[in-house]
């Protein structure tokens, strides 16, 4: 029996990362499950997936702001599974940085998770992905193209990830495909309680509803497994939000 394809998913323990991990596992991938702080959640997820297919997961802890740890994630994955077929750069920091209050520490933190780590993970994974004919999917954001009030640094970091997607597609082709998924209103920030703002955003969304984590996960799976002639592209999973002002 041929070995299962292997995917490294960053920020896999919760929310979108957990949905992506479940979808890829159901599609036949073995998974390296990265987390930073959510140990209980990632252990629960791994146990769930192991019940379905024993020996199919590896848990990896790292703070992606620690650049020395980033290549270790790839090395640990390939050492354990013997291959790497897919990289999903899902982990992301999100916080407001109003002009006049933003700090260099906030800049460093937001760029570390949203731009620097995805690039250096791609660089570390490149030789393994070339060998496998693999693919990368980055989780970008519509706010990498349309600014969000009081979130300038976050928007800049996601814009950098968008450009990395396109540039890496050129650099790593033809062996490796690199694409992105850009969600719109799928999951609200965990501390968000502004119902009026949520309703106003949905009013500007042609499909007039939030998306689901499962819809994002299926988009990631499709780009990794089925989109064989797609690279350097962004799949907007936003209910049409990019069409409306």
- Contacts with 48 (C-beta within 8 Å, 6 or more apart), sequence order: 22
3-class SS letters over the chain: CCCCCEEEECCCCCHHHHHHHHHHHHCCCEEEEEECCCHHHHHHHHHHHHHHCCCCEEEEECCCCCHHHHHHHHHHHHHHHCCCCEEEECCCCCCCCCCCCCCHHHHHHHHHHHHHHHHHHHHHHHHHHHHHCCEEEEECCHHHCCCCCCCHHHHHHHHHHHHHHHHHHHHHCCCCEEEEEEECCCCCCCCCCCHHHHHHHHHCCCCCCCCCHHHHHHHHHHHHHCCCCCCCCEEEECCCHHHCC
Query: For residues 93 and 19, what is the distance between their CA atoms, to the nearest angstrom?
Result: 18
Nearest Cα residue to 21 out of 41, 99, 118, 12: 12
- Residue corresponding to tokens 């309703």: 199
Q: Does residue 120 contact residue 71 with C-beta atoms inside 8 Å?
A: yes
Catalytic residue among 35, 154, 229, 236: 154
154 annotated active-site:
yes
The catalytic site residues sit at 154
């Amino acid at each position: 029996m041929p070995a299962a394809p292997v995917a490294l998913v960053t920020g896999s323990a919760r929310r979108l990362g957990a949905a992506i991990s479940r979808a890829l596992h159901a599609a036949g991938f073995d998974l390296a499950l990265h987390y930073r702080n959510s140990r209980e959640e990632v252990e629960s997820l791994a146990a769930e997936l192991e019940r379905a297919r024993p020996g199919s997961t590896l848990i990896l802890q790292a703070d992606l702001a620690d650049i020395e740890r980033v290549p270790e994630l790839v090395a640990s994955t390939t050492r354990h599974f013997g291959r790497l077929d897919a990289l999903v750069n899902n982990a992301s920091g999100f916080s407001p940085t109003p002009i006049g209050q933003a700090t260099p520490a906030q800049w460093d933190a937001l760029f570390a998770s949203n731009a620097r780590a995805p690039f250096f993970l791609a660089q570390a994974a490149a030789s393994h992905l070339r060998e496998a004919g693999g693919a990368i999917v980055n989780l970008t954001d519509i706010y990498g193209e349309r600014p969000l009030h009081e979130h300038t640094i976050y928007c800049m970091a996601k814009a950098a990830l968008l450009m990395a997607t396109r540039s890496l597609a050129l650099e790593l082709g033809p062996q490796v495909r690199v694409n992105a998924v850009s969600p719109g209103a799928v999951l609200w920030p965990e501390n968000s309680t502004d119902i009026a703002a949520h309703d106003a955003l949905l009013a500007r969304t042609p499909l007039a509803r939030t998306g689901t984590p499962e819809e994002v996960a299926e988009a990631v799976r499709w780009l990794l497994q089925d989109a064989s002639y797609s690279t350097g592209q962004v799949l907007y999973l936003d209910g049409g939000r990019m069409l409306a002002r």
